[in-house]
Amino acid sequence: MNHIAALERLKQGNQRFTEQLKQGSDPVPKKVQLQAEQNPMAIILGCSDARVPAELVFDQGLGDLFVIRVAGNIVAPSQIGSIEFAAATFGTPLVVVLGHSQCGAIAATLDQLTSDSTSTSPNLESIVSRIAPGISTLLEMPGSQDKATLTHYAVRANIRASVGQLRQGSRILEQLIGSGELTVVGAQYYIESGEVEFFE
């Protein structure tokens, strides 16, 4: 399966998911058979927010997705290493950086950037410090005083920053991208509707 087919399968799965939500049915993965081996069609770097389970959002079953979840869908060495492993070991052709609306990590970073407060935890600070560079310029944008608008653009900017870091932060991933074996795209999940918007 190439990245185009994988991306189309994710889009179709998300469409099924949102249709199930609209019909009031409980979206549960249909493919729950245990797999002896994994052969994921896509790698998802998503946020650890409990409202954004990738397998449900894309209506996929066990073994279909290689999912990495971390607050704010940030890129750090452990996430890059996990993606390198899946791409090189399984030949997975697609990486999706999946951010979402109402992201607490984005809100915490914006709060810290717009006030004099700092996190009481150095571990939480390590997340904020990875998000801040990608969104700090938004504070100079006209209308940045509107918190909802600022948060919306910050979520998107953070997704794009993570995509950029994956495309240019690993020799292994750069080689796979250069040879056409791997594609990295960004996407935003809307908690309000269940829909996923792919940026590319």
- Report the alpha-carbon distance of residue 135 to residue 40 in Å, rounded: 31
pLDDT of res. 86: 96
Walking along the chain (200 residues) 10 residues at a time, the average pLDDT comes out as: 89 88 67 68 96 93 92 95 96 97 93 76 89 88 77 95 95 96 97 93
pLDDT of residue 164: 96
Domains of the chain from N-terminus onward:
3-102+160-198 (3.40.1050.10)
Tell me what pLDDT residue 117 has. 67
Q: pLDDT value at position 142? A: 72
The pLDDT score that the predictor gives to residue 24 is: 75
pLDDT digits (tens, 9 = 90+) for 133-142: 998 888 887 7
- What pLDDT, on a 0 to 100 scale, did the predictor assign at position 119? 63
Query: What is residue 35's predicted lDDT score, i.e. its pLDDT?
Result: 58
Q: Is 150 exposed, middle or buried (0-12, 13-18, 19+ CB in 10 A)?
A: buried
Q: What is the pLDDT of residue 118?
A: 65
What count of Cα atoms within 13 Å lies in the side-chain half-sphere of residue 47? 26
